[in-house]
Amino acid sequence: MRYTALLPMLLLLSACKPASEKAYEQNFSLRAARELDSTGNTELARYYLERARQDPAAHTEAENFSRRITERKLRTQDCLESKKTDLTINQYPRIRHKHLFQMGVCFEEAGDTARALKFYEMAENAASMQPQLFLRRALLHSRTGNNPAAAADFERAVSLNREYPPALFNLVLYRITAEQAEAAKAHLPELKSLKPNYADIAADALQHQAEIVTFMRGRNARR
């Protein structure tokens, strides 16, 4: 009886959900893009946003999402100024590597690859053992075509913390974009045990491997 009484309220709450949230619930590609972007993999997120645009119910949110990715570059100056202040104030060796890493992320978002890599290297030299550092640098190496360095950093991120799902997730995705399907498949059971929705995205990426490789090559050619 109690559950029956709650049903109208649940239906009302569902009806009141923002249109954007409903779009995510109904469209796999939008959800995949959101997960990928949250790990720093904006390139593959853009592929899934292209797919989402093909769905009229998801098209508007896909456009909005793409715009938000672009607009992040416009806010990087504030990020850089904030992190410069952090580096000046915080001289403690135990945490300095985190601020160096965050500074690198700001430069990366600004499109300054050389400085981003410099600060990532400084963070590594400051004895950073964060898988996030090596994952982020791996993704940057991958975008700039330095595949040997990308592969090494993906592997390093996983080795530092095998239970950090974004590291294994992006290693699998890297294997897919590098056309190493069998190597990618080998990690799927472990990825599924860590985070099932990541495994679902990786499985989908495997099914669309040729399409993804073509998309990535097109992105690289336009740089």
Residue 79 · residue 104 · CB < 8 Å: no
Q: Report pLDDT digits (tens) over 42-97.
A: 999 999 999 999 999 999 999 999 999 988 877 777 777 877 777 777 766 678 88
Q: For 116-144, how does the pLDDT look when each residue is reduced to its tens digit (9 = 90+)?
A: 999 999 999 998 999 999 999 999 999 99
**All structural domains of the chain:** 73-216 (1.25.40.10)
Written as six digits, the tokens of 117 are 């890599």
Alpha carbon distance 167, 159 (integer Å): 9
Express each pLDDT in 165-177 by its tens digit. 999 999 999 999 9
Q: If we measure between CA atoms, which residue out of 103, 165, 107 comes closest to residue 135?
A: 165
Tell the residue number behind the tokens 């400085």, with chain if given: 115
- Residue appearing with tokens 């029956």: 4
